[in-house]
């Protein structure tokens, strides 16, 4: 009888679940926006509305940029949120761009085209899995998936028709950069206290003028510049820091 009562108490404790707080729900709602954009992009591709599909990947990047900020601001980050974010990124920046580029450019390469599209999606999956288990402070190790996914989709936004074999090479190259160890700027750690206001204003002006003058080609230009910055080892995150903040980062590393 005593054992039965003890078991009842244990079952009662297990059955009681803490209510999920709003600060944990809101970041996941933002991540859901990322996933929905990726799903809608796939649907638009299947309906041959390629420009809309590419812009949806652009909006998925915006949602992806905000979910982490919301989680840090509210203190509602969780392992569930991390895994959910990775699944959403795989759809929005792996599967959606791969299918988009396959349908618009590399389909006529047959098995080679299918292989390059699959390789790109595979590299996104590997990049996300590595990011979840290997936490390296400082710059990203390899090109971030949102940058890679939007870069290839930006050719559609800019209405640039490349030969199929060049598109295939781009998919292979960008995929390789994502699973590489090349350092890319991580600007998530920037705060009002550590960021240099003048440099931030200059970067914001570059973004604004890019869209004003380049219009649909702006995403392609901006993400191409980001990709090149990693190849030449230029860290935008370090550049945007105040001098005293840079010294503090260096002291922590030492």
Q: What is the pLDDT of residues 125-155, one digit of tens each?
A: 999 999 888 777 778 899 999 999 999 999 9
**Residue ranges, the chain, pLDDT below 50:** 14-15, 254
Mean pLDDT of all residues belonging to the chain? 85
Distance, CA of 103 to CA of 97 (rounded, Å): 10
Q: Is 82 exposed, middle or buried (0-12, 13-18, 19+ CB in 10 A)?
A: middle
Compute the 3-state secondary structure of the chain and give helix, strand, coil in percent, each to the nearest 5: 75, 0, 20
pLDDT tens digit string along 155-192?
A: 999 999 999 999 999 999 999 999 999 999 888 777 77
Residues recorded for the chain: 254
Q: Is 117 exposed, middle or buried (0-12, 13-18, 19+ CB in 10 A)?
A: buried
Q: Which of 106, 127, 125 is closest to 116 using CA atoms?
A: 106
Distance, CA of 130 to CA of 141 (rounded, Å): 9
């Amino acid at each position: 009888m005593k054992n039965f009562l003890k078991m009842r108490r244990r079952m009662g404790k297990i059955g009681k679940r803490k209510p999920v707080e709003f600060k944990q729900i809101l970041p996941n709602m933002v991540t859901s926006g990322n996933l929905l954009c990726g799903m809608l992009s796939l649907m638009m591709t299947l309906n041959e509305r390629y420009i809309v599909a590419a812009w949806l990947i652009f909006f998925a990047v915006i949602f992806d940029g905000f979910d982490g900020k919301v989680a840090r601001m509210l203190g509602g980050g969780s392992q569930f949120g991390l895994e959910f974010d990775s699944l959403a990124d795989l759809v929005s920046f792996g599967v959606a761009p791969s299918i988009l580029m396959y349908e618009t450019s590399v389909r006529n390469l047959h098995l080679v085209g299918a292989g390059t599209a699959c390789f790109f999606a595979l590299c996104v999956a590997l990049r996300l899995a590595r990011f979840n288990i290997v936490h390296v402070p400082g710059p990203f190790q390899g090109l971030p998936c949102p940058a890679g996914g939007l870069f290839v989709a930006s050719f559609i936004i800019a209405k640039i028709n490349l030969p199929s074999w060049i598109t295939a090479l781009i998919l292979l190259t960008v995929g390789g950069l994502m699973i590489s160890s090349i350092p890319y700027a991580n600007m998530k750690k920037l705060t009002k206290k550590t960021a240099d206001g003048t440099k931030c204003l200059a970067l914001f002006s570059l973004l604004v003028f890019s869209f004003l003058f380049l219009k649909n080609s702006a995403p392609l230009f901006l993400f191409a510049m980001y990709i090149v910055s990693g190849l030449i080892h230029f860290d935008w995150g370090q550049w945007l820091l105040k001098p005293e903040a840079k010294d503090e980062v260096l002291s922590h590393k030492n």
